[in-house]
Chains A and B, each alone.
Chain A
Amino acid sequence: MATHFVGDTAVLTGRTMRHVTRSPDTIITTAIMPIAIMLLFVYVFGGAIDSGSVSSVNYMLPGILLITIASGISYTAFRLFTDMQGGIFERFQSMPIARPGVLWAHVLTSLAANAISLAVVIGVAFAMGFRSGAGPLAWLAVVGILLLFTLALTWIAVIPGLTAKSIDGASAFSYPLIFLPFISSAFVPTRTMPGPVRAFADNQPVTSIVNTIRALFAQQPVGSGVWTALAWCVGILVVAYVCANIAYRRRIS
Protein backbone atom coordinates (compact mmCIF):
# COMPACT_ATOMS: atom_id res chain seq x y z
CA MET A 1 0.00 0.00 0.00
CA ALA A 2 2.73 2.42 0.95
CA THR A 3 4.26 1.89 -2.47
CA HIS A 4 1.24 3.58 -4.02
CA PHE A 5 1.30 6.60 -1.72
CA VAL A 6 2.91 8.99 -4.20
CA GLY A 7 0.89 7.79 -7.19
CA ASP A 8 -2.45 7.73 -5.35
CA THR A 9 -1.83 11.14 -3.81
CA ALA A 10 -0.99 12.53 -7.25
CA VAL A 11 -4.22 11.13 -8.75
CA LEU A 12 -6.33 12.47 -5.87
CA THR A 13 -4.57 15.85 -5.99
CA GLY A 14 -5.39 16.02 -9.69
CA ARG A 15 -9.03 15.55 -8.74
CA THR A 16 -9.13 18.32 -6.11
CA MET A 17 -7.11 20.66 -8.35
CA ARG A 18 -9.88 20.25 -10.93
CA HIS A 19 -12.32 21.41 -8.27
CA VAL A 20 -10.26 24.58 -7.94
CA THR A 21 -9.76 25.23 -11.64
CA ARG A 22 -13.46 24.58 -12.33
CA SER A 23 -14.53 27.11 -9.75
CA PRO A 24 -11.99 29.91 -10.26
CA ASP A 25 -14.30 32.11 -8.18
CA THR A 26 -12.76 30.50 -5.09
CA ILE A 27 -9.39 31.98 -6.05
CA ILE A 28 -10.97 35.37 -6.78
CA THR A 29 -12.98 35.53 -3.54
CA THR A 30 -9.90 34.45 -1.61
CA ALA A 31 -7.92 37.33 -3.13
CA ILE A 32 -10.62 40.01 -3.16
CA MET A 33 -10.97 40.61 0.58
CA PRO A 34 -7.22 41.03 1.22
CA ILE A 35 -6.99 43.32 -1.80
CA ALA A 36 -9.90 45.42 -0.48
CA ILE A 37 -8.23 45.64 2.94
CA MET A 38 -4.96 46.61 1.27
CA LEU A 39 -6.68 49.39 -0.72
CA LEU A 40 -8.41 50.61 2.43
CA PHE A 41 -5.30 50.65 4.57
CA VAL A 42 -2.99 52.13 1.93
CA TYR A 43 -5.27 54.80 0.47
CA VAL A 44 -7.60 55.59 3.41
CA PHE A 45 -5.74 54.93 6.64
CA GLY A 46 -2.24 54.96 5.15
CA GLY A 47 -1.68 58.67 5.83
CA ALA A 48 -2.53 58.27 9.50
CA ILE A 49 -0.35 55.22 10.12
CA ASP A 50 3.29 55.85 10.89
CA SER A 51 5.09 53.37 8.68
CA GLY A 52 8.41 55.15 9.11
CA SER A 53 10.61 55.46 6.07
CA VAL A 54 8.91 52.69 4.03
CA SER A 55 5.91 53.29 1.77
CA SER A 56 2.48 52.31 3.06
CA VAL A 57 2.02 49.46 0.61
CA ASN A 58 5.46 48.02 1.39
CA TYR A 59 4.59 48.21 5.08
CA MET A 60 1.14 46.60 4.72
CA LEU A 61 1.84 43.81 2.24
CA PRO A 62 3.24 41.14 4.63
CA GLY A 63 0.11 41.31 6.82
CA ILE A 64 -2.15 41.33 3.75
CA LEU A 65 -0.45 38.14 2.50
CA LEU A 66 -1.14 36.38 5.81
CA ILE A 67 -4.81 37.46 5.63
CA THR A 68 -4.93 36.00 2.11
CA ILE A 69 -3.73 32.64 3.41
CA ALA A 70 -6.13 32.68 6.37
CA SER A 71 -9.11 33.29 4.08
CA GLY A 72 -7.89 30.83 1.43
CA ILE A 73 -7.64 27.81 3.72
CA SER A 74 -11.34 28.00 4.62
CA TYR A 75 -11.99 26.57 1.13
CA THR A 76 -9.89 23.54 2.07
CA ALA A 77 -12.18 22.88 5.04
CA PHE A 78 -15.15 23.45 2.73
CA ARG A 79 -13.93 20.98 0.08
CA LEU A 80 -13.01 18.33 2.64
CA PHE A 81 -16.38 18.71 4.38
CA THR A 82 -18.17 18.31 1.04
CA ASP A 83 -16.26 15.08 0.39
CA MET A 84 -17.27 13.77 3.79
CA GLN A 85 -20.92 14.65 3.23
CA GLY A 86 -21.17 12.87 -0.10
CA GLY A 87 -20.18 9.24 -0.28
CA ILE A 88 -16.92 9.83 -2.15
CA PHE A 89 -14.77 9.88 1.01
CA GLU A 90 -16.09 6.46 2.05
CA ARG A 91 -15.63 5.16 -1.46
CA PHE A 92 -11.95 6.12 -1.33
CA GLN A 93 -11.59 4.61 2.15
CA SER A 94 -13.04 1.29 0.99
CA MET A 95 -10.65 1.11 -1.95
CA PRO A 96 -7.16 -0.42 -1.95
CA ILE A 97 -5.39 2.95 -1.90
CA ALA A 98 -2.89 4.62 0.39
CA ARG A 99 -5.40 6.14 2.83
CA PRO A 100 -3.40 9.21 3.97
CA GLY A 101 -3.33 10.27 0.32
CA VAL A 102 -6.96 11.39 0.67
CA LEU A 103 -5.95 14.10 3.16
CA TRP A 104 -2.65 14.96 1.51
CA ALA A 105 -4.44 15.63 -1.78
CA HIS A 106 -6.49 18.35 -0.08
CA VAL A 107 -3.39 19.75 1.61
CA LEU A 108 -1.35 19.93 -1.61
CA THR A 109 -4.29 21.50 -3.42
CA SER A 110 -4.53 24.10 -0.66
CA LEU A 111 -0.85 24.97 -1.16
CA ALA A 112 -1.32 25.37 -4.91
CA ALA A 113 -4.56 27.38 -4.67
CA ASN A 114 -3.12 29.70 -2.02
CA ALA A 115 0.05 30.20 -4.08
CA ILE A 116 -2.12 31.43 -6.96
CA SER A 117 -4.10 33.77 -4.67
CA LEU A 118 -0.87 35.12 -3.15
CA ALA A 119 0.54 35.77 -6.62
CA VAL A 120 -2.62 37.72 -7.54
CA VAL A 121 -2.39 39.84 -4.37
CA ILE A 122 1.33 40.53 -4.89
CA GLY A 123 0.54 41.51 -8.49
CA VAL A 124 -2.02 44.05 -7.29
CA ALA A 125 0.47 45.33 -4.71
CA PHE A 126 2.99 45.94 -7.51
CA ALA A 127 0.33 47.91 -9.38
CA MET A 128 -0.19 49.98 -6.21
CA GLY A 129 3.48 50.85 -6.04
CA PHE A 130 4.97 48.02 -4.01
CA ARG A 131 8.69 47.79 -4.73
CA SER A 132 11.39 45.62 -3.24
CA GLY A 133 15.06 45.35 -3.97
CA ALA A 134 15.09 41.89 -2.44
CA GLY A 135 17.29 39.41 -4.29
CA PRO A 136 16.29 35.90 -5.39
CA LEU A 137 17.40 34.38 -2.08
CA ALA A 138 15.32 36.80 -0.02
CA TRP A 139 12.30 36.17 -2.29
CA LEU A 140 12.86 32.45 -1.91
CA ALA A 141 12.88 32.90 1.87
CA VAL A 142 9.60 34.88 1.68
CA VAL A 143 7.99 32.17 -0.48
CA GLY A 144 9.28 29.50 1.90
CA ILE A 145 7.82 31.21 4.98
CA LEU A 146 4.48 31.82 3.25
CA LEU A 147 4.23 28.19 2.12
CA LEU A 148 5.16 26.96 5.59
CA PHE A 149 2.49 29.21 7.12
CA THR A 150 -0.04 27.97 4.52
CA LEU A 151 0.86 24.36 5.33
CA ALA A 152 0.42 24.96 9.06
CA LEU A 153 -2.95 26.71 8.65
CA THR A 154 -4.11 24.09 6.12
CA TRP A 155 -3.65 21.32 8.69
CA ILE A 156 -5.71 23.44 11.09
CA ALA A 157 -8.38 23.67 8.36
CA VAL A 158 -8.40 19.88 7.99
CA ILE A 159 -9.72 19.54 11.57
CA PRO A 160 -13.07 21.36 11.03
CA GLY A 161 -13.24 19.81 7.55
CA LEU A 162 -13.31 16.37 9.20
CA THR A 163 -15.34 17.16 12.31
CA ALA A 164 -17.78 19.98 11.48
CA LYS A 165 -21.50 19.27 11.64
CA SER A 166 -22.49 21.86 9.06
CA ILE A 167 -20.97 23.63 6.09
CA ASP A 168 -21.04 26.94 8.01
CA GLY A 169 -19.16 25.40 10.90
CA ALA A 170 -16.58 24.02 8.48
CA SER A 171 -15.66 27.43 7.11
CA ALA A 172 -16.36 29.78 10.05
CA PHE A 173 -13.24 28.69 11.97
CA SER A 174 -11.08 30.88 9.71
CA TYR A 175 -12.56 34.20 10.92
CA PRO A 176 -10.34 34.45 14.02
CA LEU A 177 -7.34 33.58 11.87
CA ILE A 178 -8.21 36.37 9.44
CA PHE A 179 -8.55 38.74 12.40
CA LEU A 180 -5.22 37.84 13.98
CA PRO A 181 -3.03 40.08 11.75
CA PHE A 182 -4.99 43.16 12.89
CA ILE A 183 -3.74 42.65 16.45
CA SER A 184 -0.13 42.39 15.35
CA SER A 185 2.59 44.55 13.84
CA ALA A 186 1.04 44.08 10.40
CA PHE A 187 -0.73 47.45 10.14
CA VAL A 188 0.11 49.49 13.22
CA PRO A 189 3.41 49.43 15.13
CA THR A 190 2.78 47.51 18.35
CA ARG A 191 4.43 50.23 20.51
CA THR A 192 1.37 52.43 19.96
CA MET A 193 -0.95 49.85 21.56
CA PRO A 194 -2.05 49.84 25.24
CA GLY A 195 -0.13 47.47 27.55
CA PRO A 196 -2.07 44.18 27.53
CA VAL A 197 -2.90 44.44 23.81
CA ARG A 198 0.72 45.17 23.06
CA ALA A 199 1.84 42.21 25.12
CA PHE A 200 -0.47 39.96 23.08
CA ALA A 201 0.53 41.54 19.77
CA ASP A 202 4.25 41.25 20.46
CA ASN A 203 4.02 37.61 21.38
CA GLN A 204 1.63 36.13 18.83
CA PRO A 205 2.85 34.26 15.72
CA VAL A 206 1.74 36.80 13.11
CA THR A 207 4.00 39.60 14.43
CA SER A 208 7.23 37.62 14.09
CA ILE A 209 6.23 36.36 10.63
CA VAL A 210 5.24 39.85 9.44
CA ASN A 211 8.46 41.39 10.79
CA THR A 212 10.57 38.72 9.09
CA ILE A 213 8.89 39.14 5.70
CA ARG A 214 9.06 42.93 6.02
CA ALA A 215 12.79 42.79 6.77
CA LEU A 216 13.38 40.45 3.83
CA PHE A 217 11.52 42.81 1.46
CA ALA A 218 13.45 45.80 2.82
CA GLN A 219 16.81 44.00 2.53
CA GLN A 220 17.41 44.40 6.23
CA PRO A 221 18.83 41.75 8.57
CA VAL A 222 16.04 39.50 9.87
CA GLY A 223 17.74 39.02 13.24
CA SER A 224 16.55 36.36 15.64
CA GLY A 225 12.92 37.09 14.73
CA VAL A 226 13.15 34.65 11.82
CA TRP A 227 13.70 31.79 14.27
CA THR A 228 10.69 32.86 16.31
CA ALA A 229 8.65 32.97 13.09
CA LEU A 230 9.84 29.53 11.97
CA ALA A 231 9.31 28.07 15.43
CA TRP A 232 5.71 29.33 15.43
CA CYS A 233 5.04 27.91 11.95
CA VAL A 234 6.58 24.52 12.72
CA GLY A 235 4.92 24.42 16.16
CA ILE A 236 1.45 25.15 14.74
CA LEU A 237 2.11 22.67 11.94
CA VAL A 238 3.04 19.83 14.27
CA VAL A 239 0.16 20.39 16.70
CA ALA A 240 -2.40 20.82 13.87
CA TYR A 241 -1.05 17.76 12.01
CA VAL A 242 -1.32 15.57 15.10
CA CYS A 243 -4.84 16.82 15.94
CA ALA A 244 -5.98 16.43 12.32
CA ASN A 245 -4.73 12.84 12.26
CA ILE A 246 -6.48 12.06 15.53
CA ALA A 247 -9.71 13.51 14.09
CA TYR A 248 -9.15 11.48 10.93
CA ARG A 249 -8.63 8.25 12.83
CA ARG A 250 -11.77 8.86 14.86
CA ARG A 251 -13.65 9.49 11.68
CA ILE A 252 -12.61 6.26 9.95
CA SER A 253 -12.84 3.79 12.84
Chain B
Amino acid sequence: MLTVMSISSATDQAQAPAIQVRGLEKSFKEVHVLRGVDFEVAPGAIFALLGSNGAGKTTVVRILSTLLAADAGTAAVNGFDVAARPADVRESISLTGQFAAVDEILTGRENLVLVARLRHLAQPGAIADSLLTRFSLAEAGGRRVATYSGGMRRRLDIAMSLIGNPPVIFLDEPTTGLDPEARIEVWQAVRELARGGTTVLLTTQYLDEAEQLADRIAILHQGRIIVNGTLAELRALLPPAKVEYVEKQPSLEDVFFAVVGDSATSSAPSTSSTSSTSSTSSKE
Protein backbone atom coordinates (compact mmCIF):
# COMPACT_ATOMS: atom_id res chain seq x y z
CA MET B 1 0.00 0.00 0.00
CA LEU B 2 2.64 2.49 1.05
CA THR B 3 5.36 3.31 -1.39
CA VAL B 4 8.59 1.59 -0.76
CA MET B 5 11.60 3.74 -1.49
CA SER B 6 13.31 2.36 -4.50
CA ILE B 7 16.78 3.55 -5.25
CA SER B 8 16.30 4.78 -8.77
CA SER B 9 19.28 5.17 -11.00
CA ALA B 10 20.31 8.76 -11.62
CA THR B 11 21.58 7.92 -15.07
CA ASP B 12 18.44 8.95 -16.85
CA GLN B 13 17.74 12.59 -15.97
CA ALA B 14 14.20 12.52 -17.35
CA GLN B 15 13.25 9.54 -15.22
CA ALA B 16 14.96 10.84 -12.10
CA PRO B 17 12.67 12.30 -9.44
CA ALA B 18 12.33 16.10 -9.37
CA ILE B 19 12.77 16.03 -5.62
CA GLN B 20 14.55 13.31 -3.70
CA VAL B 21 14.83 13.37 0.09
CA ARG B 22 16.60 10.67 2.12
CA GLY B 23 17.04 10.42 5.87
CA LEU B 24 16.69 14.15 6.42
CA GLU B 25 17.24 15.24 10.03
CA LYS B 26 17.19 18.66 11.64
CA SER B 27 17.19 19.83 15.24
CA PHE B 28 16.77 23.28 16.68
CA LYS B 29 18.58 23.23 20.00
CA GLU B 30 16.77 20.51 21.97
CA VAL B 31 13.88 20.08 19.57
CA HIS B 32 14.32 17.22 17.12
CA VAL B 33 12.08 18.53 14.33
CA LEU B 34 12.95 16.12 11.51
CA ARG B 35 13.90 12.56 12.48
CA GLY B 36 14.66 10.98 9.14
CA VAL B 37 12.37 12.16 6.37
CA ASP B 38 12.26 10.21 3.10
CA PHE B 39 10.22 10.95 0.01
CA GLU B 40 10.43 11.43 -3.73
CA VAL B 41 8.41 13.59 -6.07
CA ALA B 42 8.06 12.68 -9.74
CA PRO B 43 8.54 15.43 -12.35
CA GLY B 44 5.33 17.31 -13.07
CA ALA B 45 3.49 15.98 -10.03
CA ILE B 46 1.72 17.89 -7.29
CA PHE B 47 2.96 16.49 -4.01
CA ALA B 48 1.29 17.53 -0.77
CA LEU B 49 3.14 17.44 2.52
CA LEU B 50 0.42 17.27 5.12
CA GLY B 51 0.90 17.87 8.80
CA SER B 52 -0.27 19.81 11.81
CA ASN B 53 1.37 23.04 12.95
CA GLY B 54 4.94 22.46 14.03
CA ALA B 55 5.21 19.12 12.25
CA GLY B 56 8.27 20.35 10.37
CA LYS B 57 6.76 21.04 6.94
CA THR B 58 8.31 24.47 6.68
CA THR B 59 11.67 23.10 7.83
CA VAL B 60 11.62 20.60 4.94
CA VAL B 61 10.80 23.37 2.47
CA ARG B 62 13.52 25.64 3.86
CA ILE B 63 16.12 22.88 3.51
CA LEU B 64 14.99 22.08 -0.04
CA SER B 65 15.15 25.77 -1.02
CA THR B 66 18.73 26.13 0.36
CA LEU B 67 17.71 28.48 3.18
CA LEU B 68 18.63 26.01 5.89
CA ALA B 69 21.27 23.29 6.19
CA ALA B 70 20.21 19.80 7.26
CA ASP B 71 21.95 18.05 10.16
CA ALA B 72 21.92 14.68 8.42
CA GLY B 73 20.55 13.05 5.29
CA THR B 74 20.55 14.18 1.69
CA ALA B 75 18.18 16.14 -0.49
CA ALA B 76 18.33 16.75 -4.20
CA VAL B 77 16.19 19.05 -6.30
CA ASN B 78 16.13 18.73 -10.08
CA GLY B 79 19.09 16.37 -9.75
CA PHE B 80 21.24 18.81 -7.75
CA ASP B 81 22.25 18.17 -4.16
CA VAL B 82 21.04 21.07 -1.99
CA ALA B 83 24.21 21.14 0.11
CA ALA B 84 26.77 20.63 -2.66
CA ARG B 85 25.23 22.68 -5.45
CA PRO B 86 22.96 25.32 -3.89
CA ALA B 87 23.41 27.73 -6.81
CA ASP B 88 22.09 25.14 -9.29
CA VAL B 89 19.20 24.36 -6.96
CA ARG B 90 18.28 28.05 -6.77
CA GLU B 91 18.28 28.18 -10.58
CA SER B 92 15.77 25.30 -10.57
CA ILE B 93 13.27 26.44 -7.95
CA SER B 94 10.91 29.11 -6.77
CA LEU B 95 9.74 29.48 -3.21
CA THR B 96 6.44 30.92 -2.11
CA GLY B 97 6.73 31.14 1.64
CA GLN B 98 4.09 31.13 4.32
CA PHE B 99 3.92 34.90 4.34
CA ALA B 100 3.38 36.57 1.00
CA ALA B 101 6.90 37.53 -0.09
CA VAL B 102 5.92 40.69 -1.90
CA ASP B 103 7.19 44.24 -1.60
CA GLU B 104 4.35 46.33 -0.18
CA ILE B 105 5.78 49.66 -1.23
CA LEU B 106 6.22 48.71 -4.86
CA THR B 107 3.32 48.23 -7.26
CA GLY B 108 2.31 44.73 -8.37
CA ARG B 109 3.94 45.30 -11.73
CA GLU B 110 7.17 46.58 -10.17
CA ASN B 111 7.34 43.46 -8.00
CA LEU B 112 7.16 41.25 -11.09
CA VAL B 113 9.70 43.36 -12.99
CA LEU B 114 12.04 43.17 -9.99
CA VAL B 115 12.00 39.36 -9.95
CA ALA B 116 12.37 39.16 -13.75
CA ARG B 117 15.43 41.43 -13.56
CA LEU B 118 16.95 39.38 -10.74
CA ARG B 119 16.48 36.26 -12.86
CA HIS B 120 18.34 38.09 -15.63
CA LEU B 121 15.56 37.72 -18.18
CA ALA B 122 15.12 39.82 -21.28
CA GLN B 123 12.04 42.06 -21.50
CA PRO B 124 11.03 42.07 -17.82
CA GLY B 125 8.20 44.52 -18.56
CA ALA B 126 6.54 42.19 -21.07
CA ILE B 127 6.87 39.24 -18.66
CA ALA B 128 5.26 41.31 -15.90
CA ASP B 129 2.35 42.39 -18.10
CA SER B 130 1.55 38.88 -19.29
CA LEU B 131 1.58 37.54 -15.71
CA LEU B 132 -0.63 40.38 -14.49
CA THR B 133 -3.18 39.43 -17.14
CA ARG B 134 -2.89 35.72 -16.40
CA PHE B 135 -3.52 36.27 -12.68
CA SER B 136 -6.32 38.82 -13.17
CA LEU B 137 -4.21 41.60 -11.70
CA ALA B 138 -3.95 43.76 -14.82
CA GLU B 139 -6.13 46.53 -13.37
CA ALA B 140 -4.38 46.48 -10.01
CA GLY B 141 -0.88 46.24 -11.54
CA GLY B 142 -0.17 49.94 -11.17
CA ARG B 143 -1.29 50.09 -7.54
CA ARG B 144 0.94 49.61 -4.52
CA VAL B 145 0.72 46.12 -3.07
CA ALA B 146 -0.13 47.61 0.34
CA THR B 147 -3.63 48.25 -1.07
CA TYR B 148 -4.13 44.62 -2.19
CA SER B 149 -6.39 42.07 -0.50
CA GLY B 150 -4.96 38.85 0.93
CA GLY B 151 -6.00 36.86 -2.14
CA MET B 152 -4.49 39.37 -4.56
CA ARG B 153 -1.19 39.34 -2.65
CA ARG B 154 -1.08 35.58 -2.75
CA ARG B 155 -1.79 35.55 -6.50
CA LEU B 156 0.97 38.12 -7.04
CA ASP B 157 3.26 36.03 -4.86
CA ILE B 158 2.62 32.93 -6.97
CA ALA B 159 2.97 34.95 -10.18
CA MET B 160 6.39 36.11 -8.96
CA SER B 161 7.36 32.49 -8.40
CA LEU B 162 6.55 31.55 -11.99
CA ILE B 163 8.95 34.04 -13.54
CA GLY B 164 11.71 32.24 -15.39
CA ASN B 165 9.66 29.00 -15.48
CA PRO B 166 11.56 27.13 -12.78
CA PRO B 167 10.91 23.37 -13.06
CA VAL B 168 10.18 23.01 -9.31
CA ILE B 169 7.98 25.23 -7.17
CA PHE B 170 7.58 25.11 -3.39
CA LEU B 171 4.35 26.45 -1.98
CA ASP B 172 4.46 26.63 1.81
CA GLU B 173 0.88 26.79 3.12
CA PRO B 174 -0.28 28.83 0.14
CA THR B 175 -3.85 29.30 1.34
CA THR B 176 -3.41 29.81 5.08
CA GLY B 177 -5.38 32.86 6.11
CA LEU B 178 -7.19 33.26 2.80
CA ASP B 179 -10.95 33.50 2.43
CA PRO B 180 -12.72 30.62 0.60
CA GLU B 181 -12.89 32.41 -2.74
CA ALA B 182 -9.22 33.34 -2.69
CA ARG B 183 -8.37 29.75 -1.79
CA ILE B 184 -10.13 28.47 -4.87
CA GLU B 185 -8.29 31.04 -7.00
CA VAL B 186 -4.99 29.80 -5.64
CA TRP B 187 -5.95 26.16 -6.24
CA GLN B 188 -6.78 27.06 -9.81
CA ALA B 189 -3.35 28.64 -10.24
CA VAL B 190 -1.62 25.56 -8.81
CA ARG B 191 -3.49 23.22 -11.14
CA GLU B 192 -2.49 25.35 -14.12
CA LEU B 193 1.12 25.14 -13.03
CA ALA B 194 1.08 21.36 -12.92
CA ARG B 195 -0.61 21.23 -16.30
CA GLY B 196 2.37 23.15 -17.66
CA GLY B 197 4.72 20.43 -16.39
CA THR B 198 5.96 22.18 -13.26
CA THR B 199 6.64 20.00 -10.23
CA VAL B 200 4.83 21.40 -7.20
CA LEU B 201 5.63 20.61 -3.59
CA LEU B 202 2.84 21.95 -1.46
CA THR B 203 2.62 22.01 2.30
CA THR B 204 -0.73 22.38 3.95
CA GLN B 205 -2.59 21.70 7.13
CA TYR B 206 -5.91 21.60 5.28
CA LEU B 207 -6.92 18.06 4.45
CA ASP B 208 -9.36 19.14 1.74
CA GLU B 209 -6.61 21.13 0.04
CA ALA B 210 -4.40 18.06 -0.28
CA GLU B 211 -7.42 16.07 -1.44
CA GLN B 212 -8.31 18.67 -4.09
CA LEU B 213 -4.86 19.25 -5.54
CA ALA B 214 -2.36 16.55 -4.89
CA ASP B 215 -1.36 13.56 -7.01
CA ARG B 216 0.41 12.15 -3.99
CA ILE B 217 0.04 12.95 -0.33
CA ALA B 218 2.56 12.39 2.45
CA ILE B 219 1.75 12.89 6.10
CA LEU B 220 4.55 14.30 8.20
CA HIS B 221 4.08 13.46 11.84
CA GLN B 222 6.56 13.72 14.71
CA GLY B 223 9.46 14.27 12.36
CA ARG B 224 8.81 11.35 10.00
CA ILE B 225 6.72 10.59 6.94
CA ILE B 226 4.22 8.11 8.33
CA VAL B 227 2.12 7.67 5.19
CA ASN B 228 2.87 8.36 1.53
CA GLY B 229 0.63 7.52 -1.39
CA THR B 230 -2.13 8.57 -3.74
CA LEU B 231 -5.48 9.56 -2.30
CA ALA B 232 -6.92 6.18 -3.33
CA GLU B 233 -4.05 4.39 -1.62
CA LEU B 234 -4.54 6.40 1.54
CA ARG B 235 -8.27 5.68 1.53
CA ALA B 236 -7.55 1.98 1.16
CA LEU B 237 -5.64 2.10 4.44
CA LEU B 238 -8.94 2.29 6.25
CA PRO B 239 -11.44 -0.56 6.35
CA PRO B 240 -13.46 -0.87 3.12
CA ALA B 241 -16.29 1.60 2.75
CA LYS B 242 -19.61 0.43 4.05
CA VAL B 243 -22.91 1.70 2.78
CA GLU B 244 -24.77 4.00 5.15
CA TYR B 245 -27.73 6.23 4.58
CA VAL B 246 -27.07 9.75 5.76
CA GLU B 247 -29.24 12.79 5.32
CA LYS B 248 -27.11 15.12 3.21
CA GLN B 249 -26.94 18.59 4.71
CA PRO B 250 -25.33 21.38 2.67
CA SER B 251 -21.91 22.22 4.04
CA LEU B 252 -21.21 25.75 5.16
CA GLU B 253 -19.05 26.11 2.05
CA ASP B 254 -22.05 25.18 -0.15
CA VAL B 255 -24.13 27.78 1.68
CA PHE B 256 -21.41 30.41 1.44
CA PHE B 257 -21.07 30.08 -2.32
CA ALA B 258 -24.83 29.80 -2.85
CA VAL B 259 -25.30 33.09 -1.00
CA VAL B 260 -22.26 34.87 -2.44
CA GLY B 261 -23.21 33.47 -5.80
CA ASP B 262 -19.98 33.00 -7.71
CA SER B 263 -16.52 31.55 -8.05
CA ALA B 264 -17.01 28.07 -6.62
CA THR B 265 -17.43 26.55 -10.02
CA SER B 266 -15.80 29.18 -12.21
CA SER B 267 -12.78 27.80 -14.02
CA ALA B 268 -10.40 30.71 -13.80
CA PRO B 269 -9.80 33.53 -11.32
CA SER B 270 -12.19 36.15 -12.61
CA THR B 271 -12.03 39.87 -12.26
CA SER B 272 -15.38 39.87 -10.51
CA SER B 273 -13.98 37.74 -7.72
CA THR B 274 -10.96 40.02 -7.62
CA SER B 275 -13.15 42.98 -6.87
CA SER B 276 -15.14 41.10 -4.29
CA THR B 277 -12.05 39.85 -2.47
CA SER B 278 -10.46 43.27 -2.50
CA SER B 279 -12.97 44.41 0.08
CA THR B 280 -11.78 41.82 2.57
CA SER B 281 -8.91 42.60 4.81
CA SER B 282 -5.52 40.98 4.46
CA LYS B 283 -4.80 37.66 6.09
CA GLU B 284 -3.19 38.37 9.43
Residue ranges of A at the interface with B (Cβ–Cβ < 8 Å): 1, 4, 7-8, 11-12, 15, 18-19, 22-23, 86-88, 90-97, 252-253
Contact yes or no, B117 A90, CB < 8 A: no
Query: Which 4 A-B pairs give the minimum distances between C-beta atoms?
Result: A87-B101, A91-B101, A87-B97, A94-B95
Interface size on B, residues (CB 8 A): 30
Task: Assess whether B237 is interfacial by the CB under 8 Å rule.
Answer: no
Contact yes or no, A96 B91, CB < 8 A: yes
Contacts known (A91-B160, A94-B90); A253 close to B101, Cβ less than 8 A = no
- Jot down 26 A-B pairs with beta carbons below 8 A, ordered by A: A11-B118, A15-B103, A15-B106, A15-B114, A18-B105, A18-B106, A22-B105, A86-B99, A86-B103, A88-B102, A88-B103, A90-B95, A91-B97, A91-B115, A91-B160, A93-B67, A94-B66, A94-B90, A94-B95, A95-B115, A96-B87, A96-B91, A96-B119, A252-B67, A253-B68, A253-B69
Query: Closest CB of chain B to A126's CB: distance in Å?
Result: 33
Which parts of B55-94 form the interface with A (CB within 8 Å)?
Answer: 65-69, 87, 90-91, 93-94
Q: Which one, B90, B102, B105, contacts A95 given CB within 8 A?
A: B90
Contact yes or no, A1 B87, CB < 8 A: yes
In whole angstroms, what is the CA distance A22 to B146 when docked?
Answer: 13
Could you say which of A19, A22, A86, A94 has the most chain B C-beta atoms within 10 Å of its C-beta?
A94
Majority secondary structure of chain B interface residues (helix, strand, loop or mixed):
loop
Residue ranges of B at the interface with A (Cβ–Cβ < 8 Å): 65-69, 87, 90-91, 93-95, 97-106, 110, 114-115, 117-120, 157, 160
Residues of B close to A92: CB separation below 8 A = 118
Q: Give 5 new A-B contacts, CB below 8 A, not counting A91-B160, A253-B68.
A: A18-B106, A90-B97, A94-B93, A96-B91, A252-B67
Query: Closest CB of chain A to B139's CB: distance in Å?
Result: 21
Residues of A close to B97: CB separation below 8 A = 87, 90-91
In whole angstroms, what is the CA distance A153 to B66 when docked?
Answer: 31
In whole angstroms, what is the CA distance A87 to B97 when docked?
Answer: 6
